[in-house]
């Protein structure tokens, strides 16, 4: 870290510090299964603070690959759960920018109608310059892509409609 930050240094120095902080954050997140609930950066006397969701909270909120069952969500809203009996939703696990492909010129990870396996990556959410994978938690078929490529998404936004009752022999 730049120990002279905040002592009359140029904007270029601030950019270097920001890149250093970003690098530290990326190293701290590498290999982590837990979700970050807060990241604070202080400039004077440099400090980086990260808060993690507690394991129980991760279960309640759900890991990045968690889906919300269509029946349960409909019942919570007081709607008839039979309207969408075989639909589940893959939702955003963080605030960020949703991307369907690994790079702008690459094909999307999945398209509507594709059968996917548990743990398969179907998209990316970019948050704080980190590219976080979006994965399904069970075998299913992509019923619909609900978020536009490049769209800003919020925690809990529906990204994909998943047909959970499909079988490969159908």
Domains, in order of start, for the chain: 11-55 (no CATH), 62-163 (2.40.50.100)
Q: How do residues 131-148 score in pLDDT, each as one tens digit?
A: 999 999 999 999 999 999
pLDDT band at 3 (very low <50, low <70, confident <90, very high): low
Taking alpha carbons only, the member of 126, 12, 31 closest to residue 20 is: 12
For residue 18, report the phi and psi dihedrals to the nearest 5 degrees: -60, -45
Please state the pTM of the whole predicted model: 0.51
């Amino acid at each position: 870290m730049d120990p002279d930050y905040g002592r009359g240094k140029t904007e270029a120095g601030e950019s270097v510090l920001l890149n250093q902080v970003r690098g530290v954050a990326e190293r701290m997140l590498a290999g982590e299964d837990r979700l970050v609930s807060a990241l604070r950066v202080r400039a004077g006397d440099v400090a980086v603070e990260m808060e993690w969701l507690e394991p129980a909270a991760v279960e309640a909120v759900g890991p990045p690959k968690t889906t919300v069952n269509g029946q349960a969500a409909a019942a919570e809203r007081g709607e008839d759960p039979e309207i969408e009996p075989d639909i589940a939703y893959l939702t955003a696990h963080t605030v960020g920018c949703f991307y369907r492909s690994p790079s702008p010129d690459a094909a999307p990870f999945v398209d509507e109608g594709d059968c996917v396996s548990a743990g398969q990556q179907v998209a990316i959410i970019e948050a704080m310059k980190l590219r976080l994978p979006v994965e399904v938690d069970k075998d299913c078929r992509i019923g619909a892509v609900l978020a536009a490529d490049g769209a800003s998404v919020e925690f809990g936004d529906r990204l994909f409609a998943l047909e959970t009752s499909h079988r490969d022999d159908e």
